[in-house]
């Protein structure tokens, strides 16, 4: 089993203590977003967890406790963009803090296990293509040698984030403008020793020097575990998504970053309301079991193909 922690919320930033407590206990509970009274018990022992993929804008709360993950393979998807507090109000200042955190994490676990995400990208009066290119270049120069790969994507409209995006006054770029922009980012990434890939994009940017990406990356996971992983495409993701199957242990509407483009936590008010229920010792994230809940032990197993793991 590959664990996603998490597409739904920023576990490393806000719920690191809960996560480490769940690792210690060997399981967690996850509500079904479509059927809230259906709760799955997810085992989190090294015997069944092949890899943990962390998604975060700030892993600093985990840095001092990484030794507790020595029995697990894992890597981080670390988002660093050029947006300010108007778009990402809960994210600490990039130049003053987050670049240093990225470098510290890379020094602890190695640059291959820290993927830099510059996404999602959108254009409007302030965040123009020129602005993004300057911001991307500054960050890339700072992170040169601290990561092997950069992932980009362009903002997607969902029913749950459409209102927020429309209020921002985002404009749709023309194809020619988009492709030239992609070529410029590709050039900057390569100048700083990074591969660059796109996340879940229908448009083919391979001629711009940008490859298709898999965030839950079978190739990287096999490299980290030292053996073949028998995992197929994640059927719960979009058609253009290249990720292999994983189990997400997060909860929607619990992230306090407040990013205006987010589809998983589009109401900061709801996120704070749910955060008030946070108990690091509860098996459920920002929640407690109710008498009408039905708990089912999820049947999971290791996806490793019987080969030894690299230490």
Query: Which residue range(s) make up the domain with 140?
Result: 2-297
pLDDT level of residue 310 (50, 70, 90 thresholds): very low
Q: Examine the pLDDT at 309 and tell me if it is beyond 70.
A: no
pLDDT in tens, 4-48: 999 999 999 999 999 999 999 999 999 998 898 999 999 999 999
- Residue 306 within a domain: no
- Residue 311 within a domain: no
- How far apart CA 219 and CA 221 sit, in angstroms, is 6
Res 162: pLDDT: 62
The set of residues, in sequence order, having a beta carbon less than 8 Å from that of 269 and lying 6+ positions away, is none
* 172 to 53, 120, 123, 241: CA distances (angstroms): 32, 14, 7, 22
Q: In the structure encoding, which two tokens stand for residue 80, read together? A: 């660093």
Q: Which helix (H) or strand (E) holds 23?
A: helix 16-25
- Residue 291 within a domain: yes
pLDDT level of residue 161 (50, 70, 90 thresholds): low
- Residue 240 within a domain: yes
What's the chain's average pLDDT?
91
- Residue 43 within a domain: yes
DSSP code at position 95: I
- Residue 308 within a domain: no
The total of structural domains in the chain comes to: 1
């Amino acid at each position: 089993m590959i664990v996603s922690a998490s597409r739904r919320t920023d576990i490393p930033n806000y719920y690191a203590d809960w996560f480490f407590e769940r690792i210690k206990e060997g399981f967690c509970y996850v509500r079904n977003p479509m059927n809230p009274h259906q709760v799955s018990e997810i085992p989190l022992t090294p015997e069944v967890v092949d890899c943990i993929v962390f998604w975060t804008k700030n892993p600093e709360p985990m840095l001092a406790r990484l030794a507790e993950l020595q029995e697990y393979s894992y890597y981080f998807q670390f988002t660093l963009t050029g947006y300010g507090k108007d778009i990402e109000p809960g994210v600490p200042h990039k130049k003053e803090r987050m670049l240093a955190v990225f470098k510290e994490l890379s020094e602890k676990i190695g640059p291959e296990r820290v993927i830099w995400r510059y996404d999602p990208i959108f254009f409007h009066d302030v965040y123009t293509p020129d602005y993004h290119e300057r911001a991307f270049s500054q960050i890339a120069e700072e992170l040169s040698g601290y990561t092997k790969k950069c992932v980009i994507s362009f903002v997607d409209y969902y029913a749950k984030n459409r209102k927020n995006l429309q209020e921002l006054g985002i404009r749709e770029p023309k194809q020619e403008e988009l492709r030239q922009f992609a070529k410029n980012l590709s050039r900057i990434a390569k100048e700083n020793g990074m591969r660059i890939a796109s996340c879940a994009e229908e448009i083919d940017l391979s001629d711009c020097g940008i490859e298709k990406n898999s965030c839950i990356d079978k190739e990287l996971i096999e490299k980290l575990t030292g053996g073949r992983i028998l995992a197929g495409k994640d059927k719960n993701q979009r058609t253009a998504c290249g990720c292999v199957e994983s189990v997400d242990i997060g909860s929607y509407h619990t992230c306090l970053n407040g990013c205006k483009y987010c589809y998983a936590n589009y109401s900061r008010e709801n996120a704070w309301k749910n955060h008030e229920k946070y108990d690091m010792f509860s098996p459920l994230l920002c929640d407690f079991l109710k008498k009408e809940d039905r708990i089912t032990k999820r049947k999971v197993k290791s996806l490793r193909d019987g080969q030894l793991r690299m230490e």
